[in-house]
Amino acid sequence: MKLTILGSHGPYPGKDGACSGYLLENNRMNILIDCGNGVLSRYQRYYDLRDLKYIILTHFHSDHVSDMMVLRYAVDIRMRKGDIKEPINIYCPNEPLKVLDDLNFNGVFKLNIVDEKTKLKIDNLLISFEKMEHPVLTYAVKFNDGKKTFAFSGDTMENDRIIPFIKSCDVFLCDGNLLGDEKGPHLTARRAAEISKAADCKKLIITHLWPQHTTDEYFNEASKVIQDVIIAKDFEVYDI
């Protein structure tokens, strides 16, 4: 598997930034994980929208889904032109209903509701989900290609389910939005590092970065727990 960071900011993009969006490639197949503002444009650096067959949405906060609202126009028009033949498969939670209704647009998306029991197989990837702790229903997601495991926390606060879910994964992409004693519905960089260490993950990438914090600030906090932590950088590619 290969992971490309399309957008790492949250809950709003800084100058020239983009919010949550991650391109996971495996063999000749690609999956877009989250589609926040700026992500649709950046996806097209790598693929035409005809190649966008699978999107996983961890939750329905705007910084994770706002570009879905313009993607629906693109797909609608291109389907009518005959340029895109099939609706895009979306895997997402079932609430808030208002956002689900917005995604239910002219048949451009095939909406597949996920929960913590869902097991998907896309190509040779086994995909599973776990409920996280956030103001709206949010799932962490995990991909296994038979050899390696990649997990993404989505957005989350402290909870008991995350460590068992990500146990021993090869790459763990984790919300570490907060620093020091900041409060919010996210983890601090330090807690992200402690959770990754407790779960024996081989590599941690911290993401969902507050645009006014610097990469150095995140690194300094997390590296007190794990030496070789990575702070997500847009367009960086990580082999899994």
| Cα–Cα distances in angstroms (integers) from residue 181 to residues 27, 93, 136, in the given order | 42, 30, 23
> In this chain, which stretch among 56-64, 68-76, 79-87, 226-234 interacts with Zn ion, using CB under 5 A?
56-64
Residue with smaller CB distance to Zn ion, 61 or 131: 61
Identify the H or E element spanning 125: strand 125-131
CA 79/CA 170 separation, integer angstroms: 38
Residue with smaller CB distance to Zn ion, 9 or 108: 9
Collapse the DSSP code of 106 into the 3-class scheme (helix H, G, I; strand E, B; otherwise coil) and give the result.
coil
Residue with smaller CB distance to Zn ion, 36 or 108: 36
Q: How far is the CB of 27 from Zn ion (least distance, A)?
A: 31
CA 89/CA 55 separation, integer angstroms: 6
Residue 34 within binding range of Zn ion, rule CB under 5 A:
no
> In this chain, which stretch among 61-69, 82-90, 98-106, 210-218 interacts with Zn ion, using CB under 5 A?
61-69
Q: How far is the CB of 52 from Zn ion (least distance, A)?
A: 22
Q: How far is the CB of 231 from Zn ion (least distance, A)?
A: 19
Nearest to 121 by CA among 148, 150, 144, 92: 144
> In this chain, which stretch among 16-24, 53-61, 66-74, 216-224 interacts with Zn ion, using CB under 5 A?
53-61
| Cα–Cα distances in angstroms (integers) from residue 145 to residues 17, 46, 180, 236, in the given order | 31, 22, 36, 21
Interface pick for Zn ion out of 67, 130, 155, 234 (rule CB under 5 A):
155
Query: Which residue matches tokens 């895109």?
Result: 84
The full length of the chain comes to 240
Interface pick for Zn ion out of 9, 61, 72, 190 (rule CB under 5 A):
61
**Binding string, 215-234, against Zn ion, x = CB under 5 A?**
--------------------
207 with 232: CB under 8 angstroms? yes
Could you check whether the bond before residue 11 is cis, i.e. omega within 30 degrees of 0?
yes
Binding site for Zn ion (CB under 5 A): 61, 155
